Amino acid sequence: MVSGTGGEWWTGAVGYEIYVRSFADHSGDGIGDLAGVTDHLDHLVGLGVDVVWLTPFYPTPGFDHGYDISDYCAVDPAHGTLDDFDRLTAEAHRRGLRVVVDLVPNHTSAEHPWFRDALANPRGDCRDYYIWEDPAPDGGPPNNWVSHFGGPAWTLEPGSGQYYCHLFLPEQPDLNWSNPDVVAEFDRILLFWADRGVDGFRIDVAHGLVKDPLRRDNSLSRPLTPDMGPVEIFESYDHDHDLDQDANIEIFRGWNQLLRSRDIILIGEIGVSDQKRASRYVAGGDGLHEIFFLESTYLPWDVESWRQAVTGLQPLAPTGVSWVLSCHDRPRAVTRFGGGERGARRAFALATLTMGLGGTPFIYQGEELGLPDGRIEEGRATDPLAVRNPGSPEAGRDGCRTHMPWTDGPTNGFSPADRTWLPSQDRPAHLTVAGQSDDPDSMLNLYRDLIAFRHRTPALWEEPLRWPDSATEVVLGLRPRALMVLNMAPEPREVRLPDGPWTVSFDSRCGSCRSAAAQSLVVTRETCLILTRT
């Protein structure tokens, strides 16, 4: 069984990730805010997306830029007020845009009243909201689990002599999802936002909530070496016991039930590379509706990697994957694929491929401009991955989080402040919204065209897709009324088409078109074509 029966509002939709801190600063403090998002909703309408995902805007001490929440039912003053949120939702809905908010259930901030209470009252109710263990016999951490951000996933709390678990920073203690009180607290939080009119939740670290009750060690999949950074160290373990436990799926079934009558989408961030295991979260259609399959933000420009990703996952979850090429945690696609014109050309060819798949593809703010990563001068890094691990070979995530370039004025029109939270990049006019809007050949207009093409071509998500073995460096996806050809080679490739007649209807080099295709077609290098049956 697969998720998504096809009648939901998100069928065939296109999403857009707003990294709120860097989208638009209305208040003038150098940090993006909700009113700034409202100011720019018309950009999203013009782009043609259907749904926006807002990254966390809740009260936070900011150790992980909002992914450390100290109150789940309020707005951080740096991002505005609840009234600003209501205004944003109302204005989005008035324009036909849906709003998805980020929910962070794996961990709270250490400043959340629950954790404060857990520290102050080791025998109180909140203690068991978190994961506590006695030290190992040698006094060290209870097992070998490691944090994504470096070091052990356990910190000793001297008051009680126990360790608490945190898969991220010590300032982000993990919740204990085996405790029914935690389940009940989150049911209340979900309903709070559902009652305020949100259309969905993006669930942070959805694969991490439940931990092995026996707290067994993870096995190592490759030896650790001294030159590894925290991400590489984390990825050197199999994570059999701290991630992807079956009981996670039960939690989402409960949420699906709770929100059943509300027309709400649940999209989980699933950092599980095994495609079969990842697809469990959407199988049955009674848990999560879609997964962000993060692997696609790691794939290089390489035909085998992409063929395996799409041919492996698409049959398992034809409408259950939110394909993404970039997000606020990974280098932007243009940079990853070589930068400059080549990087932009490759990124847009892959965007064309993913817009031809079922599920809801999400564009990360700035992707529609062909934006590469920003540069962060020495001393201006803010991401804990960089700041807490000096000398690590891995760069932090600030580069993909620099602000959205609206104009070529000061701070690229992001903020009226002199100093912005990440350094302003002085992007040239041709990389700004204003500079691209009226240029028919711009990346922005290609994206507008691609999204409109997806919307008017339901075959792209309605029909079953087959992936025959195809020529080297070409990915071919076949549907009865539409087919996709992606040539990843550095030179043109000839492709034989199944019986037609076919029309080339979208070309990642130049957008919508209408040219009859012969039985065999020469596809330009690094180009994706979508053909429809005439």
Which residues are tagged catalytic? 204, 269
Cβ distance to ligand NOJ smaller for residue 108 or 532: 108
Tokens representing residue 195 in the block: 């009652």
Binding to ligand NOJ (CB under 6 A) within 115-174 occurs at 168
Cβ distance to ligand NOJ smaller for residue 171 or 473: 171
Which residues make Cβ contacts (< 8 Å) with residue 515, sequence separation at least 6? Answer: 503, 504
Query: Which residues pair with residue 284 across a beta bridge?
Result: none
**Contact with ligand NOJ (CB under 6 A) among 34, 44, 104, 531:** 104
Phi then psi for residue 439, to 5 deg, are -90, 110
CB of 53 to ligand NOJ, least distance (A): 11
- Judged by DSSP in three states, 115 sits in helix
For helices 303-316 and 340-355, give the axis angle rounded to 10 degrees.
20
Cβ distance to ligand NOJ smaller for residue 168 or 301: 168
Which residues make Cβ contacts (< 8 Å) with residue 323, sequence separation at least 6? Answer: 293, 296, 354, 357, 359, 361, 362
352 and 36 in contact (C-beta within 8 Å)?
Answer: no
Tokens representing residue 11 in the block: 């069928």
CB of 397 to ligand NOJ, least distance (A): 7
Of residues 242, 238, 315, 245, the one with CA closest to residue 273: 238
Tokens representing residue 335 in the block: 């940079």
Tokens representing residue 391 in the block: 């000398």
Binding to ligand NOJ (CB under 6 A) within 365-424 occurs at none
* E strand map for 416-490: 474-478, 482-487
Reported as type and span, the H/E element at residue 340 is helix 340-355
> Residues 422-461: x/- map of binding to ligand NOJ (CB under 6 A)?
----------------------------------------
Cβ distance to ligand NOJ smaller for residue 67 or 193: 67
Binding to ligand NOJ (CB under 6 A) within 261-290 occurs at 269
> Residues 52-91: x/- map of binding to ligand NOJ (CB under 6 A)?
------------x--x------------------------
Under the binding rule (CB under 6 A), the answer on residue 242 touching ligand NOJ is: no
CB of 106 to ligand NOJ, least distance (A): 7
**Contact with ligand NOJ (CB under 6 A) among 34, 49, 118, 205:** 205
**Contact with ligand NOJ (CB under 6 A) among 204, 244, 295, 373:** 204
Q: How far apart are CA 4 and CA 231, in angstroms?
A: 33
Cβ distance to ligand NOJ smaller for residue 199 or 269: 269
Cβ distance to ligand NOJ smaller for residue 400 or 530: 400
Closest residue to ligand NOJ, judged by C-beta, is: 67
CA distances from 254 to 70, 183, 251 (A): 24, 9, 5
Counting Cα atoms < 13 Å in the Cβ hemisphere of 482 gives: 22
> Applying CB under 6 A, which residues contact ligand NOJ?
64, 67, 104, 168, 204-205, 269, 328-329
